[in-house]
Amino acid sequence: MSDNSTVMGAGSPLSGEVLPPVKTKGRIGEFVSKFCRQRMSLTAAGFIVLLLLIAVFGPFLTPYNPDEANYEVLMAGPSADHWAGTDEYGRDILSRLIDGTRLTLAVSLSAVFIAAVLGTILGLLSGFYGGWLDRLIMRGSDVLFSFPDLLLAIGIVAILGPGLSNVVIAVAVFGTPSFARIIRSVTLSAKETLFVEAARSMGAKNGRIIWRHIFPETVPSIIVNVSMKVGGAILAAASLSFLGMGAKTTEPDWGAMLSMGRDYLSIAPHIVYFPGIAIFLTVLAFNLVGDGLRDALDPKMKN
């Protein structure tokens, strides 16, 4: 008996509780290793990085001046001189595609960025405060949801007038409600957590709780939704340009290039092929990255 009690008394009461310092990868490390396991998404991400580099260094990469007409090679097919052929003014299509990358990415990324910021703010407010504010924001979203996306964008551009900056506004407006809805639902579950109640019990202000405790919970959803929406935004911007409501026809926007090439589809199909392929690949890449991000950020999909 006495032996026993000595043994019991020997250990400090705390010794059982102290954890050895564990080396953990952390949230970001874990996310990176998970994402890298998905080949498709990784490849797509590589493609997007390439696109971004092209967008930044475009002017140094173009083999020809993208705006220079050359009437000796009108609508020439792909050749060693002009890899993607030339258009109806004899401009080098590859150069125009490279130059247009910046325009396309700038329009779609800024539109999605605006939509994400607006939607996140609205979603946080709506989910956190509830009541009439929630109803107002959600019914407003429903109204926007009830329009077909492109029709709404066309309507907005029709009001504001054509031009790329108005295309950005239009695409941002129809992207906002989906962010608002997603962030609202995350907010609703996050504000029920005990640590929010604990923070409240310590006297934290609402703004503090939203910013410190609820916003971080929504970040994964925001990232995933951004990557998913960029593809749609590229398509929408291209469609508006194709319909003559976005970029001017002189600008090397991919959608505008499609629009111009349409008239010569039967005699020079390559004028539309290459911008079309560019749009297709870019949208596909963003969607694949979005899928990969969703899988990597979803804590329920542990493997």
Q: Which residues bind another protein (CB under 8 A)?
A: 13-14, 16-19, 22, 24, 27, 191-195, 197-205, 208, 212-213, 216-217
Smallest distance from another protein to CB 205, Å: 7
Which of 88/217 has CB closer to another protein? 217
Alpha helix stretches (DSSP H) within the chain? 2-10, 26-36, 39-61, 93-129, 131-145, 149-160, 164-190, 194-201, 206-208, 215-242, 254-261, 270-297
Smallest distance from another protein to CB 8, Å: 11
Q: Is 131 helix (H, G, I), strand (E, B) or coil?
A: helix
Give dist(CA 294, CA 303) in Å, integer.
14
Which of 15/303 has CB closer to another protein? 15
Smallest distance from another protein to CB 300, Å: 15
Q: DSSP string of 173-220? A: HHHHHHHHHHHHHHHHHHTTSHHHHHHHHTT--HHHIIIIIIHHHHHH
Task: Give which of 202, 16, 286, 283 is closest to 294, Cα–Cα.
Answer: 286
Compute how many other C-beta atoms are within 10 angstroms of the C-beta atom of residue 153: 29
Which of 25/248 has CB closer to another protein? 25
Compute how many other C-beta atoms are within 10 angstroms of the C-beta atom of residue 24: 8
Smallest distance from another protein to CB 136, Å: 20
Which of 20/161 has CB closer to another protein? 20
Smallest distance from another protein to CB 27, Å: 8
